[in-house]
Every structure is written in structure tokens, then in C-alpha cells.
């Protein structure tokens, strides 16, 4: 069942542009990278307005090290200071300190009009529904894989049928991931 192992795909802005990070010696301005990180976090956690540097942002970088670790910035010992400086000096990023939220919290500046909050609410609701559906599919797929591994056989569920069901579940999970990505890219 090795070709049916569960592999979760991230649909954030950075993973979407992963081919850029896979070239030899990829280069990107640190401020542009910080904008991409916040954009990715906003996509992955649409309910959060601000993201904390020490947890959300550093954890995101660690989770995406297979891509980001290839950048020259992350091959230096002082990469955390460079990231902090970029967050503090990027004109597209707003600090939580300015809104009395606290130090070490950041978000992308709003560039939308008054309809933005309504649009964000709709996107968030749709994203949550896709998230719930994806979780249900993941649970069902794990159960199907378990049945397959145990060699469950009956008139209705032969191993062939279970493989077909698992393939269909994987296809649906990927489709839902693409839909979540498209929600993140709505303007």
C-alpha cells in the first residue's frame, strides 16, 4: 500500500512557488520573503489577524525549511535578526506594537476598502467548510487504509474496491486543497 500513504500537501504561497526555491542558489529580498511568509500564514490561518514572530512565524519557517533553508539568508547564524529587521522595516507589514497588541506581532497592511471585512468573513467561512470536509475525507481515508492493511474482505469490499476508494479520497483531498488555495488567492 506504499502508493496510498497519506501525504498532506501545503497550499500556502511559498509552497505554491516552490519551484522558485528549488533552483540552485535562490535569491529573494528579505522583506519580500517576510511578505510571502505573512501571506502564507494568512492563507493557512485565516482567523488570525496578527502572527507572533516567536511562534507562528518561526514555526512556519521551520515547517518549510526544506524550501527556505536553501536561501543564503537561512544559512547564516543571525537569520532570526535579519528576519526581525525585515519585519520592522517593510512598508507592507504592520507591527502589533502600533495597535497596542504587543511586540513581536505582525500582519500585512490592509490594502482593501470597507468591503474587505465582509469578503474576509466569506472567505473564512468557505475556507473553514473546506477544512472540515478535508478532515472528514482524511479520517475516512485512514479508515480505508486500515481496512486494506488488515486484509478486510467481503462481498462489497474487495481489496480492489478499497484501493479505488482510497484513490478517490486522495483525489478529493487534493481537489479540496486546490480550492482552499484558490480561496486564499481571491481578491
* Domain boundary assignment for the chain: 13-108, 116-184
- Three-class DSSP labels, 47-59: CCCCEEHHHHHHH
For the chain, residues with pLDDT lower than 50 are 1-7, 112-115, 187
Q: Spell out a b/e string for 155-165, using b for 16 or more CB atoms within 10 Å of the CB, else e.
A: eeeeeeebbeb
What is the predicted pLDDT for the residue at 134?
76
The DSSP code for 11 is: -
Distance CA(93)–CA(132), nearest Å, equals 30
What is the predicted pLDDT for the residue at 27?
84
What is the predicted pLDDT for the residue at 88?
92
Q: Could you tell me the fold of the domain covering 13-108? A: Arc Repressor Mutant, subunit A (1.10.10)
Q: How many CB atoms lie within 10 A of CB 135?
A: 12
**Whole-model pTM above 0.75?**
no
Strand partners, 94: 107
What is the predicted pLDDT for the residue at 4?
43
What is the predicted pLDDT for the residue at 128?
72
Amino acid at each position: 500500500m506504499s502508493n496510498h500513504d497519506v501525504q498532506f500537501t501545503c497550499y500556502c504561497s511559498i509552497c505554491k512557488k516552490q519551484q522558485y526555491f528549488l533552483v540552485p542558489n535562490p535569491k529573494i529580498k528579505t522583506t519580500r520573503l517576510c511578505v510571502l511568509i505573512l501571506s502564507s500564514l494568512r492563507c493557512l490561518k485565516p482567523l488570525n489577524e496578527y502572527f507572533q514572530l516567536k511562534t507562528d512565524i518561526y514555526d512556519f519557517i521551520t515547517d518549510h525549511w526544506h524550501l527556505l533553508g536553501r536561501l543564503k539568508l537561512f544559512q547564516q547564524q543571525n537569520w532570526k535578526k535579519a528576519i526581525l529587521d525585515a519585519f520592522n522595516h517593510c512598508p507592507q507589514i504592520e507591527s502589533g506594537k502600533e495597535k497596542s497588541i504587543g511586540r513581536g506581532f505582525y500582519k500585512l497592511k490592509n490594502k482593501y476598502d470597507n468591503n474587505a471585512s465582509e469578503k474576509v468573513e466569506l472567505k473564512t467561512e468557505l475556507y473553514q467548510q473546506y477544512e472540515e470536509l478535508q478532515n472528514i475525507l482524511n479520517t475516512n481515508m485512514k479508515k480505508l487504509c486500515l481496512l486494506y492493511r488488515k486484509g478486510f474482505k467481503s462481498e462489497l469490499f474487495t481489496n480492489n474496491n478499497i484501493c479505488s476508494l482510497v484513490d478517490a479520497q486522495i483525489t478529493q483531498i487534493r481537489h479540496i486543497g486546490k480550492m482552499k488555495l484558490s480561496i486564499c488567492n481571491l481578491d
